[in-house]
Amino acid sequence: MNFNLPKFSEFYKFVLVDELVLCNNPALIHYGKCSVIGYLSSSICVESISIPNIKRHLQKPDCTYKVPLIIDFTPSNYLNSTVEVFGEVKLHDELLENSYETSHSLIHKLRNLQIKLESEKGLPTREPSGTNDKGMHPSVLRHLQREIEQYKKTFKPVVQVHTIRHLQEAREVLSENLNYRIIQSCKNKK
């Protein structure tokens, strides 16, 4: 994992509920504004919905994954329906109530930890590089890897809601967003 600080997404990037939940490292999760399509449950979570253009045997049933929402209004008009949630991805520290981080802040902490550990060992000062740096001192690497493992156990994604809208054709919009993402990734490879 490199320790390059991500740039805040000022536009509402489309992300799947599944992507947020299944991201295996909270420091790598989307940083910034997002748009998430799913089912808004009474537990104030946006839940995954199946995607029509994925082969049936690969699909997960509706509501397999869910992401809690931080919301400062009562979403009663939207409950138990398919919606598009516009907001910002945060990481909830499950050890502390009402404590949130972002992927940017976690990487910043890892960068500072690398600098501190290398300084304590009397190693030369350098730009924080990340755990994929082959020249990193083994004890520094182990300590950083333990910290990342702790992040994986402690931080879970949530979306701080800016607004919500009903979405009647949620599955179709989801499919089109995925098709657009595929086209964009093909263009970026050229």
134 phi/psi in degrees, rounded to 5: -70, -20
CATH number at residue 179: 2.40.50.140
Q: What is the pTM of this model?
A: 0.89
Specify the long-range contacts of residues 127-131, CB closer than 8 Å, at least 24 apart. 128/3, 129/2, 129/3, 130/1, 130/2, 130/3, 130/4, 131/1
pLDDT category, 75, cuts 50, 70, 90?
confident
Please give the radius of gyration of the chain, using alpha carbons only, rounded to the nearest integer.
Answer: 19
pLDDT single digits (tens) 15-67: 999 999 999 999 999 999 999 999 999 999 999 999 877 888 888 889 899 99
What band does 83 get if pLDDT is binned at 50, 70 and 90?
Answer: very high
Calculate the average pLDDT of the chain.
92
Task: Give me the number of domains the chain comprises.
Answer: 1
- Is 67 domain-assigned? yes
Instruction: Count the residues in the chain.
Output: 190
Rounded distance between C-alpha atoms, residue 83 and residue 165, angstroms: 6
- Mean pLDDT score, 80-91: 97
The CA-atom distances, in angstroms, between 160 and each of 56, 57, 140, 154 are 32, 33, 34, 18
Higher pLDDT, 155 or 60: 155
Output the 3-class SS for 70-121. Answer: ECCCCCCCCCCEEEEEEEEEEEEECCCCCCEECHHHHHHHHHHHHHHHHHHC
Inside any domain, residue 74: yes
Average pLDDT of span 128-155: 93
Q: Is residue 135 part of a domain?
A: no
pLDDT of residue 59: 85
Local confidence band at 190 (pLDDT 50, 70, 90 cut-offs) = low
pLDDT digits (tens, 9 = 90+) for 88-115: 999 999 999 889 999 999 999 999 999 9
Average pLDDT over residues 69-78: 90
pLDDT at 135: 87
Q: Would you say residue 76 has pLDDT above 80? A: yes
Query: In terms of Cα–Cα distance, which of 133, 163, 159 is closest to 145?
Result: 133
CA gap 176, 85 in Å, rounded:
17
Whether 116 maps to a domain, the answer reads: no
Q: For residue 188, name the pLDDT band (cuts at 50, 70, 90).
A: confident
Structural domain boundaries, residue 42: 9-103+155-189
In a domain, 62, yes or no: yes
Beta bridge partners of 4: none
